[in-house]
């Protein structure tokens, strides 16, 4: 972000513009067709008020995302991502999973993973995966990329993050400083 500011010393036009709410809408360009479709579904769920209800990791939204694989209460971030991708007319391009690291592993097998260090930047509908607990453990967290700002801020749509009643919502991160990041993935079709 500092580098961007140094390269753009006259940012009065940017700062004087009214701030719209573009994070609730689809980015105009970028991403794979399947990823964009999943992101569009995620934004629709967010707009509908998707969240935990009654108790942590429970409620009708969570039950829908868990897809009959397990009963609530259960962690549902990966279930949410799987469910969003499964809504595509051609079906899910990977096996429906309740595990963030499992989805990442499936993407790796299909050669759909990448890291920013490879010179590839996240695009709308890509997955982002973090580790939880231990870097080499089984626990993880997953979300969908919404957009990347010119200044290096990454916006994501995630479920099951934060305290009860955790909603599906937008989060932001400085791309160069994302803690516990395992990497990204992009469905190539």
The string of pLDDT tens digits covering residues 99-111 is 999 999 999 999 9
Residues whose CB falls within 8 Å of the CB of residue 71, separated by 6 or more in sequence, listed in order: 63
Element (H, E) at 86: helix 77-86
For the stretch 56-65, pLDDT in tens is 999 999 999 9
Count the domains in the chain. 1
Asked, for residue 73, whether it belongs to a domain, the answer is: yes
Asked, for residue 12, whether it belongs to a domain, the answer is: no
For the stretch 67-94, pLDDT in tens is 999 999 999 999 999 999 999 999 999 9
Cα 42 to Cα 125: distance, rounded to the nearest angstrom: 9
Sheet with strand 140-148: strands edge to edge: 113-114, 181-185, 127-131, 140-148, 153-158, 169-174
Asked, for residue 177, whether it belongs to a domain, the answer is: yes
Asked, for residue 66, whether it belongs to a domain, the answer is: yes
Domain containing residue 84: CATH number: 3.90.1720.10
Asked, for residue 24, whether it belongs to a domain, the answer is: no
Asked, for residue 21, whether it belongs to a domain, the answer is: no
Range of the domain at 69: 31-185
């Amino acid at each position: 972000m500092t580098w961007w500011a140094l390269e753009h010393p006259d940012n009065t036009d940017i700062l004087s513009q009214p701030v719209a709410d573009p994070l609730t809408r689809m980015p105009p360009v970028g991403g794979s067709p399947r990823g964009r479709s999943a992101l569009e579904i995620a934004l629709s769920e967010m707009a509908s008020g998707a969240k935990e209800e009654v108790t942590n990791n429970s409620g009708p939204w969570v039950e829908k995302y868990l897809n009959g694989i397990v009963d609530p209460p259960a962690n549902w971030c990966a279930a949410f991502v799987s469910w969003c991708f499964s809504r595509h007319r051609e079906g899910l391009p990977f096996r429906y999973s309740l595990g963030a690291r499992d989805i990442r592993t499936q993407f790796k097998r299909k050669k759909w993973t990448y890291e920013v260090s490879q010179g590839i930047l996240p695009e709308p509908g890509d997955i982002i995966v973090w580790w939880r607990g231990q870097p080499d453990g089984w626990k993880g967290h997953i979300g969908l990329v919404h957009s990347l700002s010119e200044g290096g801020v990454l916006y994501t749509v995630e479920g099951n993050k934060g305290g009860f009643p955790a909603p599906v919502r937008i989060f932001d991160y400085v791309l160069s400083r994302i803690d516990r990041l395992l990497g990204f993935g992009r469905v190539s079709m």
